[in-house]
Amino acid sequence: MKILVVGKGGREHALIRALAESPSAPVLYCFPGSDAIFERAHAVPVDGLHSLIEWMVAEKIDLCVAGEESYLVKDEGLANLCEQVGIPCWGPHKQSAQLEASKEFAKNFLERQAIPTGKAQVVDTFEDAMTAIGGEYPTVLKFDGLAAGKGVAVCPDETTAREFLEEVLVEKRFGTGRLLVEECLTGPEVSIFAAIVDEQYLIFTPARDYKRALDGDEGPNTGGMGAVASRNLISPELLEQIEKEIIQPTVRGLNAENLPYRGFLYFGLMLTPQGPKVIEYNCRFGDPECQAVMPLVSGDLAEFCLAGARGIVQPEAIQFSDGWSVGVILASAGYPETSRNDDVISGLADVDRARIYHAGTKRLSDGTWVTQGGRVLAIVATAETRIAAAALAHAEAAKITFPGSQRRSDIGIRNF
């Protein structure tokens, strides 16, 4: 079996390792990939979506796995183009990926399907936004488009709201687009992942992301500074409620609205005092949640994704372990505002009780690894208890050093 994975980050490194360890032993390719990924997958000599499709046809690729979202909504859409040439794709069609690409589309879908979510209004101008806020703080402002995780602001007061509105609607930092003014929800967050295959689905191990840069959930939002995953993260009763009130109506809605979906769907949920509510959908696995979840998955993920992309759910192909997984991110100097490249990374070879997933690294010709981006590495450990997994992940992460390295010390410990 030949599989192409699209993406280049820590999530794709984790997916590729899980696919590589599948008993069906697929031959792996990755685009655009990274030096660390190319230790397990072949690079692909193309420069864009259309040449990638031509290459897949020429190479007789059996399965395309969308790790990241951008190609799902680019041009005609990765999955749509794969379908045209008869290559199964694990990742949804362009029209379905609007659930992630447009917050307005997602909000309208949630409302039509009566799925619990925060109330919101969509606006175009600064003045309309201020009217929609109506003097009620905190308020949540969301740019309606892909903004690399930076398009959302939880504003405690009018000053911060005005600043964000100025940036987004006047200076157009993320380009043109509308804005959602959303009710501020409170409660712990949880990331639920389901493999969706038309009318069927399989729920993966629940996870929790740590989005803020600093200990104690302080500092700016980031792409995620760590994650914890376990079947015991939430109670079976709560998972059942989420399944009934959120996952099933989502799957029914996708089918009723002709939104073809075969791939991972990420439900970003807030566990509010009124019950779980959707804060976002993503049409892919989470990053860094994927790095925490994959070590708990065994069996044949490659076979599972291939069957799924062909329209068959094969729950028996994979198993989920008990226990806990904790993943700690090491980020480069300046992250999240900026990032610093070319800092030499030491200690990778000393890590022997955790997995290392590379997100932003480069290998020099002499074999030295250096930083290349904001989030650099995820160090992931598993154990029977959360506390043991967290202790292990932090102890192993401490073995790795590079100038300016940043790591939260409360991943897996806080928020329980």
Q: Binding residues for ligand GLY, per CB under 6 A?
A: 209, 224, 282, 286-287, 289
Q: Which of 377, 410, 341, 413 is nearest to 36 (CA)?
A: 377
Out of 53, 185, 246, 271, name the contact with ligand AMP by CB under 6 A: 185
CB of 36 vs ligand GLY, minimal distance in Å: 19
Out of 27, 130, 184, 413, name the contact with ligand AMP by CB under 6 A: 184
Phi, psi of 259 (to 5 degrees): -110, 95
Nearer to ligand GLY, 81 or 211 (CB): 211
Cβ neighbours, 10 Å, residue 306: 23
- Residue whose tokens read 């996952």: 247
283 is a contact residue toward ligand AMP (CB under 6 A): no
- At 268, is the secondary structure helix, strand, or coil? strand
By a kind-dependent CB cut-off of 5 to 8 A, residue 184 interacts, out of ligand AMP, ligand GLY, none, with: ligand AMP
CB of 291 vs ligand GLY, minimal distance in Å: 10
Q: Which of 209, 390, 350 is nearest to 291 (CA)?
A: 209
Residues that bind ligand AMP (rule: CB under 6 A) add up to a total of: 14
62 is a contact residue toward ligand AMP (CB under 6 A): no
Interface pattern 65-94 for ligand AMP (x via CB under 6 A): ------------------------------
Residue 147 makes CB contacts below 8 A (sequence gap 6+) with: 174
Instruction: Supply the Cα-derived Rg of the chain in whole angstroms.
Output: 21
133 is a contact residue toward ligand AMP (CB under 6 A): no
Q: Which two tokens stand for residue 373?
A: 């981006």
100 is a contact residue toward ligand AMP (CB under 6 A): no
By a kind-dependent CB cut-off of 5 to 8 A, residue 286 interacts, out of ligand GLY, ligand AMP, none, with: ligand GLY
- How many Cα atoms within 13 Å fall on the side-chain side of residue 144? 22
Out of 161, 234, 279, 370, name the contact with ligand AMP by CB under 6 A: 279
Nearer to ligand AMP, 154 or 312 (CB): 154
Question: Please, which of residues 194-223 interact with ligand AMP by CB under 6 A?
Answer: 211
Cα separation of the two ends of the chain: 42
Query: Are the beta carbons of 270 and 279 closer than 8 angstroms?
Result: yes
Cβ neighbours, 10 Å, residue 68: 21
By a kind-dependent CB cut-off of 5 to 8 A, residue 287 interacts, out of ligand GLY, ligand AMP, none, with: ligand GLY
List beta partners, residue 3. Answer: 28, 63
By a kind-dependent CB cut-off of 5 to 8 A, residue 27 interacts, out of ligand AMP, ligand GLY, none, with: none
